[in-house]
Every structure is written in C-alpha cells, then in structure tokens.
Amino acid sequence: MGGPEQMPQDRFSLILRYASLAALEMTEKDPARLAEIADDKKVIADGLGMDGSAIIMEASKLVAGGNGSH
C-alpha cells in the first residue's frame, strides 16, 4: 500500500538499489570493490531490461515524486 501504484515493489527496490550503487561507485577507490559494484549494476540493469541512464532517470523521478508528499 505505500509506494508507487503502477510499479511492482521489487522493481522499485531494484531501481533504488541501482541508484545507490551508482552513487557509491563515485566515491569508491578500491578496484576490487568497483568491479563488484559494476557487476551488481549490470545484473540489475539486465533484470530491469533498461540501461543505466534510464534507470537513473527513473530513480530521480521516483525520489522527486514518489515519497508520498504530493
């Protein structure tokens, strides 16, 4: 009942997870950890059937309008 009406909860979670990984990737210095993050992002993108930039755009829309304050 909380959350976007037209989006399954797992999809919503994946989009937010991808966005948090992308943010983490910007500050991560460890090459092994960066490779892990990149792999995780690829798995999520493949699962969603979207490319990274589309996922980030979707995440920013969700964050902007999906927090129940409309």
Residue 1 confidence (pLDDT): 40
Q: Read off the amino acid at residue 58.
A: E
Give the tens place of pLDDT for each residue, 30-59: 999 999 999 999 999 999 999 999 999 999
Residue 49 DSSP label: T
Cα separation of 52 and 56, whole Å? 6
pTM equals: 0.76
Q: Are residues 69 and 63 in contact, defined by beta-carbon separation less than 8 angstroms?
A: no
Q: Which tokens in the block code for residue 64?
A: 């902007």
